[in-house]
Amino acid sequence: MSPLSRLFSPFVSAVAACRARWLATPAALLLFSAAVSAQEVTKRWGPTEPVSTYGHRFDSLFNLITLLISVSFFIVLILLLVPVIRDRAKPGKRASFDHGNSLHDKRFTAIVSVIVFIVLDALVLVIAMRDLREGFWNDPLPNDPEVVRVEVLGQQWSWNFRLAGTDGEFGTPDDIITINELTIPVDRPIDMNLTSKDVIHSFFLPDMRVKRDANPGAVNEMWFESMATGSFAILCAELCGFAHYQMHGEVHVLSEADYDAWEAEASRLALLGYDENDAEAQWAWAWQE
């Protein structure tokens, strides 16, 4: 047998075995229902529509991986089921004797693994690197006036947010401090500094498809940009004690005009209510890029 035909012989035999109707019909049904159910699952019980610029990148890569591994798993399943059905022990039947040590066999294994690695892993790797560099790791520039900066302080069991207010400086009396409710503008990069007061928390925005740990003792960074207005869930994703499951809040995404009005009003109220003796409220840190 030539190396090439040898290479494909198991697949050819698998296809040949499928010619038997009793195997082909369930196989086709299985493939069809798997495809339909994957779509149905995503549509009906999958996550909500992605809202952030990054979210669309996540969804498209997720779907691509789903497609690739479904095909791979289907091939594995066929190669598993064919011998299980066809090669049962029968009286007088003898297994073929093959140690699989020939050069052809080694070549087959090597070629298939390289192909699988390229199609499955390398492809996903390249897309992931592109997505990360263009959509997640490219932190907003320090002096970009478009960027809204937020300091996030996790604690058992709530999220504290601090916006710089109209003066754009953290640690000043007009800082807007909120608990479990974060208000941000639409279509502008939101740059975050995250840390924690006590144990590790993880800031999770399912609709934005992003998550970052808030570690005590160090400041972590993350950015995202919402493409739609509305209210979306904030969750804690890292076990942080027995009320971990109740540590959630909401992010309110406002239109640019609404946000400007909200920010001016909130900053004004913050200035009015500022109390320099309130140590609990003085947790701002110097912004870290």
Partner 1 sequence: MSGDHIHPEPTSFLKKHVFSVDHKVIAKQFLWFGLFWLLIGGMMAMMIRWQLANPGAPFPVLGQLFFPSTGGVIDPAAYNTLFTMHGTIMIFLGLTPVLIGAFGNWCIPLMIGARDMIFPLLNMLSFWTVMLGGAIGFYSLLVPLGASEAGWTGYPTLSTTVGTQGSGETLWAIAVFFIGASSIMGGINYLTTIIRLRAPGMKWSDLPLTIWGIFFTAILNVLFLPVIGSAMILLVLDRMFGTNFYVPASIMSGATGGDPILYQHLFWIFGHPEVYILILPAWGIVSDLLSFFARKPAFAYRVTVGAMGAVTVLSAVVYGHHMFTTGLSAMLGESFMLLTMIISVPGEILFLNWLHTIWKGSLRMHPPMLFSLGLIFVFGLGGLTGIYLATISTDIYLHDTYFVVGHFHLTMAASALFGAFAGVYFWFPKMFGRMMNPLLGKIHFWASIVPITMVFCTMFVSGYAGMPRRYYDHTSAEYLRDIQWLNEFTTLWAFLLGAGQIVFAWNFIRSRWWGEKATSNPWEVGTLDWQMPTPVPHYNFKEIPTVHTGPHEFSNPRLGPDRDWISQTEEMPA
Of residues 266-285, those binding partner 1 (CB under 8 A)? none
Q: Work out whether 145 is an interface residue with partner 1 (CB under 8 A).
A: no
Q: How many CB atoms sit inside 10 A of residue 161's CB?
A: 21
Q: How far is the CB of 173 from partner 1 (least distance, A)?
A: 23
Binding part of the chain for partner 1, among 129-137, 166-174, 183-191, 274-282 by CB under 8 A, reads: 129-137
C-beta closer to partner 1: residue 148 or 236: 236
Nearest to 284 by CA among 162, 160, 156, 158: 162
209-238: contacts with partner 1 (CB under 8 A):
209-213, 215-218, 220-221, 233, 235-238
Query: How many residues bind partner 1, per CB under 8 A?
Result: 91
C-beta closer to partner 1: residue 235 or 271: 235
For the record, the structure tokens of 175 come out as 């800082």
Q: Contact 220/212 with Cβ under 8 angstroms?
A: yes
Return the bridge partners of 177, or none: 162
Binding part of the chain for partner 1, among 108-116, 164-172, 177-185, 253-261 by CB under 8 A, reads: 108-116
Q: How far is the CB of 281 from partner 1 (least distance, A)?
A: 17
Q: How far is the CB of 266 from partner 1 (least distance, A)?
A: 24
């979210």: which residue's tokens?
A: 55
For the record, the structure tokens of 67 come out as 């497609």
Contacts of 123 (CB under 8 A, 6+ apart): 64, 68
162-191: contacts with partner 1 (CB under 8 A):
none
Q: Work out whether 192 is an interface residue with partner 1 (CB under 8 A).
A: no
Sign of the C-alpha dihedral computed for residues 165, 167, 169 and 175 taken in this order: negative
Provide Rg for the chain, Cα atoms: 28
